Amino acid sequence: MEPYVVIIVFLAVGTAFTLSAAAGFGGSLILVPTLALILGTKSGVALSALLLAANNVVKVYAYRKTIPYRKAVPVIVLVAAGTFLGAQLLIAAPEKVVTVAVVFCFAAAFLIESLRLGRWRHVGSPILAFLSGATSGFSGTSDPLKGLAVRGLDLDRMHLVGALSLVSLIGDTTKTAIWTEASLLTGRHYFVALACVPLMLVATFFGRRFNTRVGERGYTGLFWTVMAGYTSRLLVNL
């Protein structure tokens, strides 16, 4: 790999980890397309899953005091159930149909929050959690629904990031196991992840510091900016 490519990769990794630590999710928005472009789709997606899983371990430790375990468990269970069924039933669904559905969910969730329809957020959270898992077989579609599902739990920003970090850890670890079993992740990829550990520590520190200083309103803006980024990426792929 050329030296300039290595620099680009580490810049993308550092930026992705910082964003993920600040918002609780969003790392794949930067990491997946960058690594897929440089390494190829399968290798890029597989390495991204491994890096994000390792980074989520650091995030869970950093936010360990503000992880709402009892509230997060139902989302985790539904995400896992959706993933299990989605792998069997929805894997053949046209990607454009799934993309349109995700964009629709994003628009509906934004409208519900803007109009302060709190009851609908609580009702929609389990549904979005299940759909997040069901669509996880499609690159880039699970994170937006996961974000909306956890957002529906009505948590303050610190607990929201903690919950997102825990849910993301479960999802990315599952994907990493699948890619390793399929031999798409080898010892070389794990060595790259190990080399990125210092970046994970530094990025998590700065991301968490940003989160503690930005305030609830600032975090809400960051959250919906990340969601808009995912939506734009999905629309481009239509």
More confident residue, 104 or 65: 65
DSSP, res 138: S
- Using CA atoms, how far residue 144 sits from 64, 102, 188, in Å, is 23, 8, 30
pLDDT exceeds 70 at position 191: yes
Can you give the pLDDT at residue 57?
A: 94
Alpha-carbon gap, residue 175 to 53, rounded angstroms = 9
Comparison of pLDDT for 157 and 4, the residue scoring more = 157
Q: Which of 174, 181, 162 is nearest to 132 (CA)?
A: 174
Is the Cα dihedral 81, 91, 141, 200 positive or negative? Answer: positive
Asked if residue 60 lies in contact with residue 69, where contact means CB atoms within 8 angstroms, the answer is no
Torsion of CA 173, 153, 129, 181, to 10 degrees: 0
**Mean pLDDT of the 70-79 span:** 82
Residue 208 clears pLDDT 80, i.e. is over it: yes
The SS3 call for residue 238 is coil
pLDDT band at 183 (very low <50, low <70, confident <90, very high): confident
pLDDT at 106 over 90: no
Per residue in 52-66, pLDDT tens?
A: 889 999 999 999 999
pLDDT for position 140: 45
Mean pLDDT of the chain: 77
> Lowest-pLDDT range, 17-21, 90-94, 96-100?
90-94
- Taking CB atoms within 8 Å and a gap of at least 24, the contacts of 193-197 are 193/47, 193/50, 193/51, 193/54, 196/10, 196/13, 196/51, 196/54, 196/55, 197/54
- For residues 95 and 80, what is the distance between their CA atoms, to the nearest angstrom? 20
Domains contained in the chain, number: 1
E strand or H helix at 176: helix 157-181
Tokens 């053949």 appear where?
A: 92
pLDDT of residue 170: 82
Q: How crowded is the C-beta side of 236, counted as CA atoms within 13 Å?
A: 8
Nearest one of 55, 1, 35 to 200, comparing CA atoms: 55
CA proximity to 135, closest of 186, 182, 174, 84: 84
Residue with more model confidence, 84 or 119 = 84
Identify whether the C-beta of residue 34 lies closer than 8 Å to the C-beta of residue 172.
no
Say what percent of the chain tops pLDDT 70. 69
pTM of the model: 0.76
Percentage of the chain exceeding pLDDT 90: 16
* Domain region containing 127: 3-236
Give yes or no for residue 169 having a pLDDT over 50: yes
